[in-house]
Chain A
Amino acid sequence: MYSILEAKELVADSIYEFVVKAPNVAANCEPGQFVIVRTDEDSERIPLTICDYDREKETITIVVQVIGASTFKMKSLKTGDAFSDFVGPLGRPSELIDTPIDELKQKKILFVAGGLGTAPVYPQVKWLHEHGVDADVIVGAKTKDLLIMEEEMEAVAGTLYITTDDGSYKRQGMVTKVIEDLYAEGKKYDLCITIGPMIMMKFVCLLTKKLELKTIVSMNPIMVDGTGMCGACRLTVGDSVKFACVDGPEFDGHLVNFDEAMKRTQIYKTAEGRAYLKAKEGDTHHGGCGHCGGDK
C-alpha cells in the first residue's frame, strides 16, 4: 500500500491533489514521466503524469480529475488513506533533462498548459527554474473556478499568462489566442511544450507549425499496463506507430496524428460512462442513462 500523506481538493468535486509516499518512484523520476495508480482491487490502472516530487521526503504529487468510476473512488480518499498500487516512474523523461543547461539558457521556452495539463507542466517549469532557466507559461482554463496551481506556477515561471475561455479571470480566450497575441507583440520562442486536452494540443500545434515553432506535446492515450505490453496507447507519429508508454509520452507535436489519437480516446466511452454512473449513483440509479435498461 502507498500512503497518502496529503489529500487536497483543488477544484470542488472535480480536481484533487495527492502527495503519496513512493520511495522507488521519488528516487528515480524526472519531469515528463508518469505513474500508474490503482485505488483498490477492482480499480483500473490509471496513468497520471507526475506533478511534483521530493527525493528527500520520498514523495510524488499527482493531480487527478474525476472523470470515471476509478477516479470517482479517488475522490473519497483522505490524508492517511492509501492507494493499493503505485508504480513508476514510467515513460521517458522530458527531452529538457538531457539538454545541456547552457544550451537551454540560450533558448526562449514557452509552456502552454490547458486545464489539468497545468499540473504536469509544473515540474518541467520548476526544473528549469531550479537550473536557472526561466520559461514563459500560458495557462488556460475554462473558467476561473477551474484554474489550478496559479501560485505555484507564478513562483517558478518567467512570465505567467493566464487566460479563461469565458473571461472570468485575467485574459479572455483560448491559449492559442495568447500565443498569437504574444507573437503580435513581437515575442518569439525557440521551443514550445504544450500539455492539456488533445484538442487543445492539436490547435496549439497547428498554430506553432505556422509560426515555425518546434513543439513538444505530452500524449495521454488509453493505457492498460503502461509498461510496453498491451499496445492500447499506440499512436501515429510521422510515418510510424509509437507506443506512448515506452516511446513517449512526449512527442514532436507537429508529427502527431491528433485526429486519430482523439478518436482512439473514445473507444471505451460508453462502458466508462456506465461504470461511472454506477459508482456515482450506486443502487440509487434507476435509469435515465440510456444504457442500463433501468428505465425500460
Chain B
Amino acid sequence: MDVLKKVPIREQDPKVRATNFEEVCLGYNKEEAMEEASRCLNCKNAQCVKGCPVSISIPDFIKEVKEGNFKEAYDVISQSSSLPAVCGRVCPQESQCEGKCIRGIKGEPVSIGKLERFVADWAFENGVKPSVNAEKKNKKVAVIGSGPSGLSCAGDLAKMGYDVTVFEALHELGGVLVYGIPEFRLPKEKVVKKEIENVKALGVKFEKNTIIGKSFTIDELIDKYGFEAVFIGSGAGLPKFMGIPGENANGVFSANEYLTRSNLMKAFKESDTPIMIGKKVVVVGGGNVAMDAARTALRLGSEVHIVYRRSEEELPARVEEVHHAKEEGIIFNLITNPVEILSDENGWVSGIKCIKMELGEPDESGRRSPVEISGSEFEIECDAVIMSLGTSPNPLISSTTKGLEINRRKCIVVKEENGETSKDGVFAGGDAVTGAATVILAMGAGRTAAKGIDEYLTAKGN
C-alpha cells in the first residue's frame, strides 16, 4: 500500500453508467475503509475539523473506523451532523476537510468524505440510529423547508429536546436533496429517505404541501399556532437567466426545471411528467447543478455540451463531478459564452450562438474575469439549452413577513454568529440567506441557527 495515495474507490464503469441512473460511486467496503482510515495521522491540532462547516470530530471518527468500531464512529459523526450519508456524497471535500488534511501536502489527503459515507451507510444497514438523550422541553419551534438547512436545524433542536415541526411546500421531503441532486449522485430511497427517517426518529414532525407565506404566514405560526421560534430554510428560488435573445424559445429550460422534472417528478423513469430529451443539449454554466443537468441529459440519451465562460480551473463544480462528467463523455466548451439562442420558424431551439472569451485580470472574487474576443462568434447546433446560472431567493416569505430585513440581492439578512434575523424569534440560514451555495454550508447554517434558537429560548425562559 502506498500511504501517499487514497485507497481507490470502486465506481460504475463510465460507459455503463452513462446509460443508467444507478449511483456512480460504489463506496468502500469494511476492509477498504479500515485501510484508508489507517492513513489518518490523527493530528492533535486537526486542520480538517476547521475545514468542516459543521465541525465533525474527524480524527476521532476515523480512529474508530481504523479499529473497526463503526457504531462508535457513527456516534461521533452524528453528534455534529444530521445527514452524514448525504454529506459523504455531496460535500466539496477538496475545498473543506480534505483540502486541509496534512497528508495532502505530500500526497493525497485522507478520503474523509468516502469514510463518512461508509460509516453512515454501515449505520443504515445495521439499523443504528442517532440517539436522543435530552429532556423534553415544552417549547415549539417551526422550521420552514425540509432541505439541508432545515433538516440540520430540526435535528439539532430535537436533540436538545425541543418540539419541532418542519413545513415543506412540495409533496416530498428533502428540498434540493430530492428535487435537485440526481439519483446517480444521491440515491433517494437508499439515502435521502433514510436520513429523513432518522430525523423523524428524533421526534421531529413534518407537514408537507404547506407553503409558508401562502398557506399561512410566519406571524400566524407564532401568534396562532404557538411556535416560540421560527427557522427559515426556504432555500434558493427563482432561476436566473442570461437576458440574451431567444431565451424563451421552446427547448430552453432552467436547470431547476429540468432537474425537478427528472428527480422530483421522476421523469427519468416511468411517470406522467414529461421531460424533453434533446438530440444535442447545451448546458450553460459550470457549477454542480450544471454538471447534474448535463449528466442527467446524457443518461436520457442526449449528446451534451457544457458551455462555461471561464476556464477549467475556475469551474465551481466539485472536482469529482467534473472528472465524472468527462469520463462519461460530456463535451466541455470552455472560455466560451452564449450571446444568443437561435430558433427555427416554429419557435424551437435550433442552436446557440457563442463568443470565445479570454481571461483578463482577476476581479474582486480573485477569479480572472473573462473578456470577449471580438469577431470570434460561432454557432453550436442543438435542440435544447439548459440554463444553469444560479438562482435568486424566493420572494414568498420576505414579501409576506413584516419586519424581516432583506438585502439588495433579496437575501434574508442574519447575524452570522447565531442566524438571527431582524424579526424577533425568527432565524434563517442556507440559500435563503446566502444565495445558491452548497448542501454543507446550508447544514452548517442550520446548526448555527439551532444553537441561536436554543440560546434565544433559554434566555426568554418561560
Contact = CB atoms under 8 A, between A and B. Distances in A.
Interface residues of B, number: 42
Nearest to B274: A271
A85 B216 CA distance: 17
B394 interface: yes
Interface in B242-282: 247-248, 250-251, 253-254, 256-257, 260-261, 264-266, 270-276
A43 interface: yes
A202 interface: no
A225 B347 contact: no
B137 to A, nearest CB: 27
A231 B272 contact: no
A69 B271 CA distance: 10
Interface string A35-78: 00010001111000000000000000000000011100000000
A45 B265 contact: yes
Nearest to B347: A263
A231 B394 contact: no
Contact of A268 (B171, B274, B394): B274
Contacts of A231: 238-239, 241, 253-254, 256-257
B216 A230 contact: no
Interface stretch (A22-30, A204-212, A285-293): A22-30
Given A225-B179, A228-B395, A264 B209 contact: no
Which secondary structure dominates chain A's binding surface?
mixed
Interface residues of A, number: 43
B38 to A, nearest CB: 44
B248 A44 contact: no
A241 interface: yes
A90 interface: yes
Interface in A87-111: 87-90
A228 B394 contact: yes
A225 B347 CA distance: 24
B272 A70 contact: yes
A263 B250 contact: yes
A89 to B, nearest CB: 6
Interface string A244-271: 0010000000000000100110111001
Given A229-B256, A267-B276, A275-B274, 14 more contacts: A28-B215, A42-B272, A45-B265, A84-B171, A87-B171, A87-B210, A224-B273, A227-B211, A229-B394, A230-B239, A234-B248, A246-B394, A271-B276, A272-B274
Interface of B: 169-171, 179, 208-211, 214-216, 236-239, 241, 247-248, 250-251, 253-254, 256-257, 260-261, 264-266, 270-276, 346-347, 391, 394-396
Interface of A: 24-25, 27-28, 38, 42-45, 68-70, 84-90, 224-225, 227-232, 234-236, 241, 243, 246, 260, 263-264, 266-268, 271-272, 275, 279
